[in-house]
Amino acid sequence: MVQDGCGGSAQCCFQVEVLSYAMCVRSLTGEENTHILNGQDVTVYVTLSNTYPLGGIDLLLCYDPSGLSFFDAFPVDELANWEYFTWRHSPASNCVGGCPSGYIRIVAIADLDNGPANHPDDADFYLSGNIVGLKFHVTSDRNFINQCFNIGFCVLDCGDNSLSSKSGDTLFIPIGSPTDCIDPTKLVARDIINFCPGRICVDEPPDDRGDENLNVSPTKLVTSSCSRTTSCMVRRCGIRCGKKSRSWPLTLTMTAWSSRSRT
């Protein structure tokens, strides 16, 4: 409120909008660590917290190639309705032979000039939650059991991991970006993007020896129609039926068996 010398006053109200973005690599359920076994394929997701309409993204991710092999990326939810999406292994352009390993470049544009007839809906410019899926193959080398491989965001040059507004006049860049990375063609450049990497962890395989139905159940009590009304216990070395339930100091893992009559 402003008051002049004559006692008159005027009041002005304004609203301050604080924008910030968190871009992370997470599991499908939102966990930092994604658990998997040796030799399997796994998918992790780039996530974004966003309340502002976007028109373009340019991401550069890096991962540990000693245990991970990247083979595909795909758009998720609203981003799947954008008109252009592409990925490549190299941080710069596609190369042949001697390409640097451990990088993923992802570029997406919502609305192309003279693009497809079906343009994104207004809601599709608001990217939030999982936006890109990344598929990896995990090494079969058992020496990596109980180890984790990092997947994060790398900045090698100006423009890496930047987001453009729908109108095209504002560029969102990583926090702490140097001033010379500000695109002069943009009216506003705001360093408000914060990053949180994720990890793919190789777990110890379960000891399922003798677990024919793979239900990870250490014991199993089954009943069957023997010659008399009895309870039957199944153990790894075979089946016994008797008038009373019996137990043995062995891990009982089988559930399927053929009945045996006993007189």
5: in domain: no
**Surface-to-core class of residue 101, CB atoms within 10 Å of its CB (0-12 exposed, 13-18 middle, 19+ buried):** middle
* CATH number for the domain harbouring residue 61: 2.60.40.680
pLDDT, average across residues 110-118 = 78
Residue 83 sits at the vertex; the CA angle it makes with 82 and 84, to the nearest 5 degrees, is 100
CA distance 160 to 17: 25
On whether residue 16 sits in a domain, the answer given is: no
Residue 47 in domain: yes
- Distance from C-alpha of 46 to C-alpha of 70, rounded to nearest angstrom: 14
Largest CA distance in the chain: 114
The rounded radius of gyration (Å) of the Cα atoms in the chain is: 29
Better-predicted residue by pLDDT, 60 or 169: 60
Which of 24-28, 44-48, 189-193, 213-217 is least confident?
213-217
- The alpha carbon of residue 112 and the mean position of all alpha carbons in its chain are separated, in whole angstroms, by 27
How many Å apart are CA 55 and CA 125, to the nearest integer?
6
Is residue 107 located within the same domain as residue 73? yes
Is the pLDDT confidence value at 45 over 80? Answer: yes
At residue 153, the 3 state secondary structure works out as: strand
CA angle 35, 40, 46 (to 5 degrees): 55
Cα(223)–Cα(231) distance, rounded to whole angstroms?
Answer: 5
Give per-residue pLDDT as tens, 208-228.
665 556 565 655 544 444 444
Q: Do 127 and 250 lie in a common domain?
A: no
Residue type, 135: K
pLDDT at residue 83 greater than cutoff 80 = yes
pLDDT tops 50 at residue 111: yes
Taking alpha carbons only, the member of 24, 71, 30, 46 closest to residue 193 is 24
Co-location of 42 and 162 in the same domain: yes
Q: What CA–CA distance (Å, rounded) separates 69 from 105?
A: 15
Residue 75, φ and ψ in degrees, nearest 5: -75, 150
Can you tell me the distance from the alpha carbon of 3 to that of 193, in angstroms, rounded to the nearest whole number?
40
Neighbouring residues of 117: CB distance < 8 A, sequence distance ≥ 6: none
Same domain assignment for residues 172 and 149:
yes
Q: Tell me what the mean pLDDT of segment 85-105 comes to.
A: 78
Q: How confident is the prediction for the chain on average, in pLDDT? A: 77
Residue-wise pLDDT for 121-144, tens only, equals 999 999 989 999 999 999 999 999
Do 166 and 223 fall within a single domain?
no
Is the domain of 134 the same as that of 98? yes
Dihedral angle, C-alpha 55, 60, 65, 71, nearest 10 °: 30
Give how many domains the chain has, as a whole number: 2
The pLDDT > 90 percentage for the chain reads 43
Any domain includes 51: yes
| Structure confidence at residue 158 (pLDDT) | 79
Residue 261 domain boundaries: 207-263
Cα gap 26→220, rounded to integer Å: 37
**Over residues 7-28, mean pLDDT:** 72
155 and 225 share one domain: no
* Separation of CA 111 from chain center: 26
Cα(83)–Cα(72) distance, rounded to whole angstroms? 19
